[in-house]
Amino acid sequence: MVGHLLKDDTGYTLIDPPMVPNLAGALSVLGQCKGVIITSISHARGSATLSTVTGANYFVPRHQESLYKGDKSAKNLVFYDGETVLPMGIKAGRCRSDRPIFNNFHIDEMVIFSREGAFVGDSAHGLQSSRVVFAPEDIVPEPDIEAIK
């Protein structure tokens, strides 16, 4: 999983940040952290701690509130959906696959939209046809053996 950082003149926002020692300290040169957003509860890693250290709000998908195991009374915790005002003009929408991809598991996470583009966690992948598939039915497509040769 790869995290994303969006920066503007007012500071920065993290999306699905990786768990890296002293990440908050390293990022402090960029200004104030405006928010830590996860697209799925399975991408939480050290995000709650990171938001506490930076003083930023921690945004968790509202549809996954029942799965959240942290302190639900934390003052910086925000359960968000497509109507929530997010930092830096970021918008969000829910992305859910119609059919399970394996073992009755459905992709069900948030897509983050900013002026830089769409951030979809691990719910998108590129195809050889140069198209991007959102909420694919198969996360890792079968390799094209002919193309590998």
pLDDT tens figures, 41-67: 888 888 998 999 999 999 999 999 998
Model confidence at 147: pLDDT above 70? no
pLDDT for residue 56? 96
Strand partners, 1: none
Phi-psi region of 39 (alpha: psi -120 to 50; beta: other; left: phi over 0): alpha
Lowest mean pLDDT among 57-61, 75-79, 111-115: 111-115
Q: Does the pLDDT value for residue 145 go beyond 90?
A: no
Question: In sequence order, what are the residues at sequence separation of 6 or more whose Cβ sits closer than 8 angstroms to the Cβ of residue 118?
Answer: 111, 112, 124
What does the pLDDT read at residue 92? 94
pLDDT at 138: 53
Tell me what pLDDT residue 123 has: 65
Mean of the per-residue pLDDT values of the chain = 83
pLDDT of residue 91: 94
- Output the CA–CA distances (angstroms, integers) from residue 148 to 1, 5, 47, 142, 145, in the order listed: 24, 33, 38, 12, 5
Closest CA to 124 of 58, 46, 40: 40
User: Where does the pLDDT of residue 127 fall: very low under 50, low under 70, confident under 90, or very high at 90 and above?
Assistant: low
